Structures are given as C-alpha cells and as structure tokens.
Amino acid sequence: MQILLKGGRVVDPAAGRDGVADVLIDGAVVANIGTDLPADGARVVPVPAGCVVCPGFIDMHVHLREPGQEHKETIATGAAAAVAGGFTGVACMPNTNPVNDQAGITESILAKANAAGQARVYPIGAVSRGSKGEQLADLAELQAAGCVAVSDDGHPVADALLMRRALEYAASFGMLVIDHCEDPSLIGGVAHEGYHATALGLRGLPAVAEELIVERDVTLSGLTGAPVHVAHMSARGSLRAVRSGKARGIKVTCEVTPHHFILTDEALQGYDTNVKMNPPLREAADRDAMLEGLADGSIDVIATDHAPHHYDEKAVEFDQAPFGITGLETAVSLSLDRLVHREVVSLSRLVELYSTNPARILGVAGGTLAPGGAADVTVLAPDAPTIVDVARMRSKGKNTPFGGWELRGCVAATIVGGQMLYVNDAVGEAAVFTSGGG
C-alpha cells in the first residue's frame, strides 16, 4: 500500500532538508520525497497545519524489564509507550532477570518485539557475564544474535582493564560500548551530594563519582581507538571530559535525559520518590551545563533512560525506593517546550538529537527520510498545547515527576515500517491521520 504524506514541513538534517514537501511511502520504505508529488493511486494523507514530518525518533536508552520484571513493564507495553511518545525505535538495556548476556535472551527479546508489532526494539547486550564486572560476555555471540551495542548499564565496569578489553573486543567487529559511569567506591547515596540532600538528611551521591569514570573511559577510548558512548550524563565535569576528548579526536559520544536538563536537586523537597533516579538530579550549574552542551553540539543524543516501576515500589520511604522514572511518553513534549520554544536548540537540531545521531551512533537503519530507507516517521505538532496525563500512559510505569505539567508541543503521529501505529486525537486536525491508522 502507498501513502502520500502531503504538504507538511519536512525536517531531515541528514538530507539537508527543511521545508514543505510530500513524502511517498510504498509499503515499508520511503519511495520518494519532493514537492507536488502525484498521488498515482496512493492514499493521500494531508499533514495537519503546523505539523512537522521527521525521520523516526530513536531512544537509545530504555529499560523494558522483560524478562524477569514484567510487573514493571513488558516488551509489548514498552514498545507501545514508545510509539505513543513518537519513537519508532528503542534500544533496551540488558539489566533484566536474567541479564541479557547470551544469545538466547537476545533472540527472545527480538521475537517478542516482533510479535508486539509496535516500535522497533534494538537489544543491548551486557559487557560482562551477569553484569558483574568480572568476565567479559561473549560480545561476538551477542552481536550475531542481534545486539546493536553492549553495556552494563545499572552497574559500572569498575575494572579499568576489563573496560579496556571490552572496548578492544567490541571495536574489532564494529560494536559500540555504552558506558554507565560511576566509581563504585564513591557511591551508596540516594541523591546528589549537595545542599538539598544535606538539608533533607539524605545520603549523597557526589558528581565526582560520575566524572572520574567519564575521564577514565574517554582516556581508554583514546588509548584503544575504540568508540565509547557515555550514558545519561548529568555532571558538568563529565561534559568537560567529553569536550576534551572530542577536541583530541577521541571517538566519544554522549547522551542526556530530559530530567537532567530540566530539573535540579531542588525538586527533592517533599521527598517525592518520582525524582529519585541514578544519576541523581544535580545542582543548577550542572543542569545549565547540559543545556549548553545541547546548544553547542557537545551532546550528541537525548535519551529517556525510561525506567518504569510498579506503584508500590515507589510508594515507600525515599531511601528504600528504586531509582528511575518513566520517560518515553513525556520526552518529546518536554524537549519541544523547554528546548525549542525557549530557543535553546532549533527544531532541526532536535531532530539530530532524537533521530539522526542515535541512528548513526548505534549503526541502525533510520535517521533520515531518504528514498529507499525504512518508512519510519515521527510527526510533530510543535505548537499544540498538551498536558502530561499519567492515567493515559501506555507504559505500565506511571512513575514520573512531570504529571500534570502543561507543555507546548507534542507528537501528532508515529509511523513504523509504513504502518501508522499512533495518532494523537488531542491534536487539532489529527483526525486526517486516522483512516488506516491509530
């Protein structure tokens, strides 16, 4: 079946395109893009006024919890939340139970993602067996099974030699190592070590615990010549290390989450466990550094670190609650509101952060609407008012500090492989999408 997305503003930085154009989808691929394309039997879908057609967004850092913690999330519910949030693809971390450190688990994840028929799911395998940081997993086996990268996310690779070997081994067959940066000798707290944690009697997590490992692994990347990607960066010293590495030609990339470029540790007031995450919310100077890195190009990716938990798990004392918040269904609206409309970044730069760069860094298809590529499309309504409605979230996890926030900008529709899987019925004129979709 052919679909002609007619008359929207198409923003595709990889193709150098930002202007009104038509996008012709033929089955699962983009067939053509240009102005005034003839329908020639295709189903014509007029893009609603003010909407923007982009290459599909990819979240390169999510936790889908399956296998082992299906009460928090499943691959099916997480992938459905992804398309509702505008993501056509997600890369899922290996800290499941059991850990994704062998081919059979990877293959099971892919089979369940295929059965769900929602967002594309890209498994990330473990660096070490059981993510224990003692012995390398069989990285080649994981890649052959379908893993796009490796990480011990949730746990630091504490041993520098093991990290060096992981970088060398993974690079030998073109695989990326994604780095959870924490010095284990400096952790054990529950909130950023600073004024607010001290005032509230909470054990501190110092920013230097992150900064030291970022410095170490940027250096190891330079030594080995292997690429390293810094996950969920939160501290200004970490950004300084990344910038220094980039300036020296080291193959380092990094990501930041919306909660780390919006919130600060001042949000700890009230002991709301929905602001407990790792890395923790930092002080204002760190938050401002993340905004500067997004604006000047030092930061490559926005990722959600989507970490769903059951309500009962968060409804406990702050010290006892698990780290993490959901993010798939809030990230794009937060980014439009706080980055684009406040002129921190342009809309084109936002597409780079959510689509072009994640596809390039992970080495997966997408990141552009060039003809011949996958018909993965995110349609934005940048000016549409929206309210974060936790009750309507498709994710099992409702643990977000952004519930009830009024924002400007949202996702209008999400198309994966030529199939319209999500339509936002709250967007004015979005009903034009619903025939054959939603």
Confidence category of residue 427, pLDDT binned at 50, 70, 90: confident
For residue 298, which amino acid is it? S
- pLDDT at position 437 over 50: no
Give residue-wise pLDDT tens across range 358-388. Answer: 999 999 999 999 999 999 999 999 999 999 9
- CB contact at 8 A, 335 and 292: no
Q: What is the pLDDT of residue 242?
A: 98
Is residue 436's pLDDT more than 80?
no
The pLDDT of 170-177, averaged and rounded, is 96
Torsion over CA of 397, 400, 403 and 408, rounded to 10 degrees? -110
* Residue 153 bears catalytic tag: no
Instruction: Report the SS3 class of residue 216.
Output: helix
| Local confidence band at 87 (pLDDT 50, 70, 90 cut-offs) | very high
CATH topology of domain 57-328: TIM Barrel (3.20.20)
Cα torsion through 432, 433, 437, 438, rounded to 10? -100
| Mean pLDDT for the stretch of residues 232-251 | 98
Angle between helix 207-224 and helix 236-247 axes, rounded to 10 deg: 10
Q: Between β-strands 17-26 and 2-12, what pairing exists: parallel, antiparallel or unpaired? A: antiparallel
| Residue 429: predicted pLDDT | 52
Least Cα distance to 328 among 61, 40, 52, 108 occurs for 61
pTM: 0.97
Q: How confident is the model at residue 430 (pLDDT cuts 50, 70, 90)?
A: low
Angle between helices 207-224 and 160-171 (to 10 degrees): 50
CB 9 within 8 A of CB 53: yes
Write the pLDDT tens digit of every residue in 112-147: 999 999 999 999 999 999 999 999 999 999 999 999
pLDDT band at 426 (very low <50, low <70, confident <90, very high): confident
pLDDT, the chain, mean: 96
CA dihedral defined by 221, 227, 232, 235, rounded to 10 degrees?
Answer: 30
Segment 11-43, tens digit of pLDDT? 999 999 999 999 999 999 999 999 999 999 999
Distance, CA of 395 to CA of 416 (rounded, Å): 18
> Cα–Cα distance between 143 and 342 in angstroms, integer?
41
- Are 273 and 316 contacting, i.e. CB atoms less than 8 angstroms apart? yes
**Across residues 275-287, what is the average pLDDT?**
98
Measured at the alpha carbon of residue 212, what is the angle toward residues 195 and 100, in degrees to the nearest 5? 105
* pLDDT surpasses 50 at 435: no
User: What ranges do the domains of the chain cover?
Assistant: 57-328
pLDDT given at position 438: 33
Tokens 């292997």 appear where? 226
pLDDT > 50? residue 278: yes
Looking from the CA of 438 toward its CB, the CA atoms found within 13 Å total: 15
Task: Let me know if 311 is exposed, middle or buried by CB neighbors in 10 A (0-12, 13-18, 19+).
Answer: exposed
Residue of 152, 300, 305, 337 marked active site: 305
**Average confidence (pLDDT) over 262-291:** 98
Q: What is the phi/psi pair of residue 314, to 5°?
A: -90, -15
